[in-house]
């Protein structure tokens, strides 16, 4: 049985490894040695195995018989699938969140968009981008849905990093501002439509950079 301490440690390990995979420090096919990682984090094998399960759920690693755990590869089909899933789930979350979006929440989302416009690198931009999506979706009050979206967003971030690692120029996110404008006007269907298009376009751009 895992303890609360093990669970907290497994989350920390999974996040650290996810950051390395997304940034490209750990390349597709790289083997993740359980003993090595346990030693690095001063952990037993229990939280390491749980971290691996979390990463597998996010599509960042694969577990293969007799080969252990390796960093997952990326295919164009996967890029498209993740974009389609995100579009559908984020629209569902937004429609449930919309009645609870206050002026203060929308202003927080606006601030996240401004931070993205000023980002000096892809990591800072992705942090701001994820913050925007979380801010407008979290009020849906559906934790399982939000967890699924967050896992998909992690996978999406990996695609973006692969495409933008060599060249980076902070984009001006007009879609975010169009979503906010529609939400402020109470046009939920329009906001949902722009959000779906926005997420699908991000997936399409990732496919072109591969």
Q: Counting every residue, how long is the chain?
A: 210
pTM: 0.77
Residue 142 is predicted with a pLDDT of 98
Residue 85 is predicted with a pLDDT of 96
Residue 79 is predicted with a pLDDT of 85
Q: Is 32 helix (H, G, I), strand (E, B) or coil?
A: strand
Instruction: Please state, as a whole number, how many other Cβ atoms lie within 10 Å of the Cβ of residue 19.
Output: 14
C-alpha–C-alpha distance, residues 112 and 17, integer Å:
25
Q: Is 64 helix (H, G, I), strand (E, B) or coil?
A: strand
CB 22 within 8 A of CB 158: yes
Per-residue pLDDT of the chain (210 residues; tens, 9 = 90+): 344 454 689 999 999 998 888 878 888 889 999 999 999 999 999 999 999 999 998 888 999 887 889 998 888 888 889 999 999 999 999 999 999 999 999 999 999 999 998 888 778 888 899 999 999 999 999 999 999 999 899 888 887 776 655 455 555 678 999 999 999 999 999 999 999 999 988 765 554 444
Select from 87, 83, 63 the least CA-distant residue to 158.
83
3-state helix, strand, coil in the chain (%, to 5): 75, 5, 20
Residue 58 is predicted with a pLDDT of 82
Domains in the chain: ranges and CATH: 4-71 (1.10.10.10), 76-209 (1.20.120.530)
Residue 1 is predicted with a pLDDT of 39
Select from 59, 66, 65 the least CA-distant residue to 28.
59
Select from 71, 19, 53, 60 the least CA-distant residue to 155.
60
Orientation angle between helical segments 76-97 and 188-209, nearest 10 degrees: 160
């Amino acid at each position: 049985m895992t303890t609360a301490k093990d669970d907290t440690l497994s989350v920390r390990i999974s996040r650290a490894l996810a950051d390395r995979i997304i940034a490209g420090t750990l390349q597709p096919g790289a083997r993740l040695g359980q003993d090595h990682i346990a030693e690095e984090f001063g952990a037993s094998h229990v939280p390491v195995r749980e971290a691996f399960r979390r990463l597998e759920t996010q599509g960042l690693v694969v577990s293969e018989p007799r080969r252990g755990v390796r960093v997952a590869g990326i295919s164009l089909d996967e890029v498209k699938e993740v974009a389609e899933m995100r579009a559908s789930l984020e629209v569902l979350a937004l429609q449930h969140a919309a009645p609870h979006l206050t002026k203060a929440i929308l202003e927080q989302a606006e601030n996240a968009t401004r931070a993205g416009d000023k980002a000096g690198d892809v990591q800072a931009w992705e942090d701001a981008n994820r913050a925007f999506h979380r801010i407008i979706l979290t009020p849906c009050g559906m934790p399982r849905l939000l967890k699924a979206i967050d896992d998909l967003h992690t996978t999406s971030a990996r695609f973006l990093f692969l495409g933008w690692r060599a060249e980076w120029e902070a984009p001006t996110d007009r879609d975010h501002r169009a979503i906010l404008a529609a939400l402020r006007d109470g046009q939920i269907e329009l906001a949902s439509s722009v959000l779906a298009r926005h997420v699908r376009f991000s997936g399409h751009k990732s496919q072109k950079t591969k």
